Amino acid sequence: MSPQFVDFNADGHLDIVAGIFDGSPHVALGSANGYIQPVQILDQEGQRIVLNQFWNFETKKWDATTRCDPPTGELPKGQCTSAFAWDLDADGDLDLLLGDYTGGVLYLRRNEGTATAAKFATRNEPVLAGGKPLMVPHKMATPRVLDFDRDGLQDLVIGSMGDAYGAGEGGAVYLFRNAGENGAPQFGEPTVLVVPSTKGHVDGPVRPDAGLYMDVADFEGDGDLDLVVGGYSMWQPKAPELTDAQKARVKELRAAIDETSKAMSAIYQAIQKAVEGLDEEAASTRRKELMAAKQDELAAIGKRNKELRTELEPMSADQKRESFVWLYENKAQAPAAPVRRP
Amino acid sequence: MECSHSKSPALVVAGWLSLLPLCAQGADYAAPLRLQAGDGFLGAGRLYPSPVFHDVNGDGRIDLVVGDLVGHLTVALREPGDGPPRFGKEQTLKAVDGQELDFGNW
């Protein structure tokens, strides 16, 4: 998800807008007493806002649709996992930018209503950069909009996912400067704010390498824009020098971890076999019953697995992959005057 | 101040401002600092942490709100003081119903 604090319905209270992994934008409306539990943001016909891939709550499966595709043009598969409310067309109400996790494309869902009575269009429009659909490599994590270079125009800053598990290129943060005007932005090729991770770090985390969800603000109050970036760091620890006894223990631990994994897998497989042939509703009910019956056993296996891994970790040189949040402090002096185009 | 980004081979910009180094546009980022909250690292153990700057308690200091893949939100309040930023322990963001604010309906 990619939370944004914004007065989405123009009632004077800050709301939280977020795209989540089900493929749709949601909002937690603010009130005088706090936030109300999130709901889906719907279009003007009361339909879910999606790209062309989404989680179907009725069938409980991933699903696809062309219902919201732009009228023209072939589009890659897209799943909305990030959203940002922004008055792109400067007509006084908030439109929605939809970030595509799968293809890395940025879409617009235009608000054809008003600031207090939104009516979102029924189809997505690709946001353009250089006349083509704006796209970042290796999937999109989240878009943000702000006047980055202080020229009075709203620019786009976008974090990318990168290869989240393997050795492929990692995530990055890109700036798409607005060379048009407010209400009719024109974005060009991106500037790289955080270079794509090449990974290969040794002996400790040095940066976010994959899944770069970020935000931009003058965090230090010194007049320039800092970045905060969440994501996974990946690194290769130095191989420890082990005694013969430790080497033997490592072997035991790996075997024991393998056993716990097999035991857990066997339980899940047995449950799956038990619900085969049942209709969707009956299968769901039976699956919950069986999971409840095995809950304590699964918890015990999980606890044992964690204990074994904790003991193994200092003796292992296995690649590490852990999530953190990082601050990129801006050391540049803010532009003394707005940088205007000729 | 030296502009390290002016040496970056990855600098690609469209339009006439492409001739300007990134630092001249107001950006020259220091090496990233891994943030702590309380006794631990901020976002540790979360699935795809997504941080957002926001002054949650209105004290004039920008705090951090962190979302994640499963739809949970935590708040880490920035503590006063000079030097590297310090944050209090992450706390769950609650809704008006007293329950955890939960975006994870899938």
- A269-278: pLDDT as tens digits: 999 999 998 8
Contact with chain A for residue B19, Cβ under 8 A: no
Inter-chain contact B26–A179, Cβ cutoff 8 Å? no
d(CA B25, CA A337): 11
Rounded to a whole number, what is the distance in Å from the CA of A2 to chain B's nearest CA? 6
d(CA A201, CA A236): 6
Rounded to a whole number, what is the distance in Å from the CA of B78 to chain A's nearest CA? 10
Please list every residue in chain A whose beta carbon sits closer than 8 Å to the beta carbon of residue B42.
Answer: 324-325
Cβ atoms of A250 and A316 closer than 8 Å:
yes
Please list every residue in chain B whose beta carbon sits closer than 8 Å to the beta carbon of residue A20.
Answer: 71, 103-106
Residue A317 identity (one-letter amino acid): A
In this predicted structure, the answer to whether residue A132 has a pLDDT above a threshold of 60 is: yes
In this predicted structure, the answer to whether residue A9 has a pLDDT above a threshold of 60 is: yes
Mean pLDDT of A1-16: 96
Q: What angle do CA A135, A141, A145 make, to 5 degrees?
A: 75
Burial of A101 per CB tally in 10 Å (0-12, 13-18, 19+): buried
Minimum-distance CB partner of B53 among A148, A228, A333: A228
Is residue A38 classed as helix, strand or coil in its secondary structure?
coil
d(CA A230, CA A236): 20
Query: Among B29, B1, B2, B24, which residue's Cα sits nearest to residue B13?
Result: B24
Give the global pTM.
Answer: 0.84
d(CA B90, CA B36): 10
Is residue A148 classed as helix, strand or coil in its secondary structure?
coil
Query: Which has the higher per-residue pLDDT, A76 or A159?
Result: A159
Rounded to a whole number, what is the distance in Å from the CA of A317 to chain B's nearest CA? 20
Structure tokens at A54: 């989404």
Q: Taking a contact as any Cβ pair under 8 Å apart, which residues of chain A between 10 and 39 contact chain B?
A: 16, 18, 20-22, 26, 28, 31, 33-38
H or E element, residue A210:
strand A210-217
Indicate the length of chain B as a whole number.
106
Contact with chain B for residue A230, Cβ under 8 A: yes
Contact with chain B for residue A148, Cβ under 8 A: yes
Mean of all residue pLDDT scores within chain A:
92
Inter-chain contact B96–A36, Cβ cutoff 8 Å? yes
Q: Write the DSSP string, A174-202.
A: EEE-B-SBTTB--B-SPEEEEPPP---EE
Q: Taking a contact as any Cβ pair under 8 Å apart, which residues of chain B between 56 and 85 contact chain A?
A: 62, 64-69, 71, 73, 85
The one-character DSSP state at B29 is B
Divide the 106 residues of chain B into consecutive groups of 10 and give the mean pLDDT of each group: 37 36 69 96 96 95 96 96 92 95 84
Distance spanning both ends of chain B, measured CA to CA: 49
H or E element, residue A53:
strand A53-56
Mean pLDDT of A152-173: 94
Minimum-distance CB partner of A335 among B8, B26, B71: B26
Minimum-distance CB partner of B32 among A37, A224, A328: A328
Is residue A39 classed as helix, strand or coil in its secondary structure?
strand
Indicate the length of chain A as a whole number.
342
Mean pLDDT of A76-88: 92
pLDDT for B25: 62
Residue A243 CB neighbour total at 10 angstroms: 9
Mean pLDDT of A227-252: 94
Contact with chain B for residue A330, Cβ under 8 A: yes
Structure tokens at A143: 């878009």
Q: Which long-range contacts does B6-13 make (Cβ < 8 Å, 24+ apart)?
A: B8/A192, B8/A195, B10/A192, B10/A195, B10/A196, B11/A191, B11/A192, B12/A189, B12/A190, B12/A191, B12/A192, B13/A177, B13/A188, B13/A189, B13/A190, B13/A191
Predicted confidence band of residue A36 (pLDDT cuts 50, 70, 90): very high
Q: Which residues sit opposite A213 in a β-bridge?
A: A230
Distance spanning both ends of chain A, measured CA to CA: 39
The ipTM estimated for the assembled molecules is 0.84
Using DSSP bridges, classify how beta strands A61-64 and A80-86 pair: parallel, antiparallel or unpaired: unpaired
In this predicted structure, the answer to whether residue A331 has a pLDDT above a threshold of 70 is: yes
Query: Alpha carbon of A159 to those of A36, A112, A178, B72: distances in Å?
Result: 28, 28, 17, 20
Mean pLDDT of A134-159: 94
Inter-chain contact A325–B68, Cβ cutoff 8 Å? no
Contact with chain A for residue B104, Cβ under 8 A: yes
pLDDT for A339: 47
Is residue A69 classed as helix, strand or coil in its secondary structure?
coil
Residues 6+ apart with CB under 8 A from A338: A150, A151, A152
What are the tens digits of pLDDT across the range A255-306? 999 999 999 999 999 999 999 988 878 888 899 899 999 999 999 999 999 9
Predicted confidence band of residue A2 (pLDDT cuts 50, 70, 90): confident
Cβ atoms of A16 and A38 closer than 8 Å:
yes
